[in-house]
Amino acid sequence: MYARRSRVGGRRLATAAGTCVLLAGALGYVGLADPHDTGSAYPLCPFKWLTGWNCPFCGGLRMTHDLLHADMAAAVNDNVFVLLGLPLLGVWVLARRRNGMAPAPPAATLTIALAALVWTVVRNLPGFPLVPVIQGG
């Protein structure tokens, strides 16, 4: 019984360590390769490619790059919805799980989806000030 527990614990530790290494590598790449540059290796968002609109997550890589370089104003400009919403959503889901509740009830899922839809429409309105910026050419 004890040997089985230690194997499971070891497997969890290895999974957590591997996840941390992959996350650190991904963040390192985003920090070094500037997604604001049109010559970067980042692909175009499929939603933007198909529709010409910024999706709710467009600007997320640029926002992450800006955060890694401590440029909060540029991060807000690139995607304020993800900048504020993702940490709040994460804290809310973790608090619910800690209390033994389901991560997201259907009403909350619908509210989040509607918020993303509204953000998509609003950020694509002509003259909206918070639009992701791609530099270069």
Question: Quick one: pLDDT band at residue 133, thresholds 50, 70, 90?
Answer: low
Q: Is the confidence at residue 13, as pLDDT, over 70?
A: yes
Residue 135 pLDDT greater than 80, yes or no: no
The Cα–Cα gap between 137 and 46 comes to 20
pLDDT band at 137 (very low <50, low <70, confident <90, very high): very low
* DSSP assignment string, 72-127: HHHHHHHHHHHHHHHHHHHHHHHHHHHTT--S--HHHHHHHHHHHHHHHHHHTSTT
Instruction: Note whether 136 and 36 are within 8 A (CB).
Output: yes
CA angle 94, 45, 28 (to 5 degrees): 60
Q: Of the ranges 61-65, 101-105, 128-132, which is most confident? A: 61-65
Confidence of residue 37 (pLDDT cuts 50, 70, 90): confident
Provide mean pLDDT across the span 82-91. Answer: 92
